[in-house]
Amino acid sequence: MEKAELYETFQKGLTSVAGECYLAKKADVAATLVKIFQEKDVKDVALVETPLLKEAGAADALKAAGIKTDTDHFRKNAPYDKGGVTEADYGVANLGSLVQMKDDIDDRIVEIVADVYVGIIKLSKIVDDFDSMIDIMAETKPFPKFAGIITGPSRTADIECVSTVGVHGPRQYAVIVVEDE
């Protein structure tokens, strides 16, 4: 698929499971994060800083907007922060899913405990379908301690077959797809 088609397919997959999708240039990532969290009235955020998020000035922009931003001590801080931001390793276009392949637990903590989660993914890291992702995972050496696929807000129907959102993860889920330069 071409990049525009990949994005459209990813966006369609994500919105079909009640997620939100934004397309942004690297220079606009910080402003997009601020917009998302302000619209959702999020006052505190756990942000796992990656080179991309540092270069985009994400933490500084959130702080300048009056949003308390924790960039370390995630086991202590993230459970009390309403928002969370991490960068994903891959995306699966037809599912609208993010894929994390990590050894570090910080990303997992932030993704799971945030009430409002925003994932960041580079457009070049989105693959067509799950089969393509499995091929990548099979070739990854050494395989990380954790691999997870995140598709939309957390949902369960365990309790008397009643659908409940946010029991095992975020209630609200958004992805910023970053255009490659």
Q: Give Dmax (Cα) for the chain.
A: 49
- Over residues 90-116, the mean pLDDT reads 90
pLDDT tens, position by position, 67-84: 999 999 999 999 999 999
Q: CATH number of 3-178: 3.20.20.370, 3.40.50.10420, 2.60.40.10, 3.40.50.2300?
A: 3.40.50.10420
The residue among 98, 60, 151, 82 whose CA lies nearest residue 71 is 60
pLDDT of residue 163: 53
The structure tokens listed for 167 are 């029991």
Sketch the domain layout of the chain as residue ranges. 3-178
The structure tokens listed for 49 are 């800083």
- Over residues 32-48, the mean pLDDT reads 97
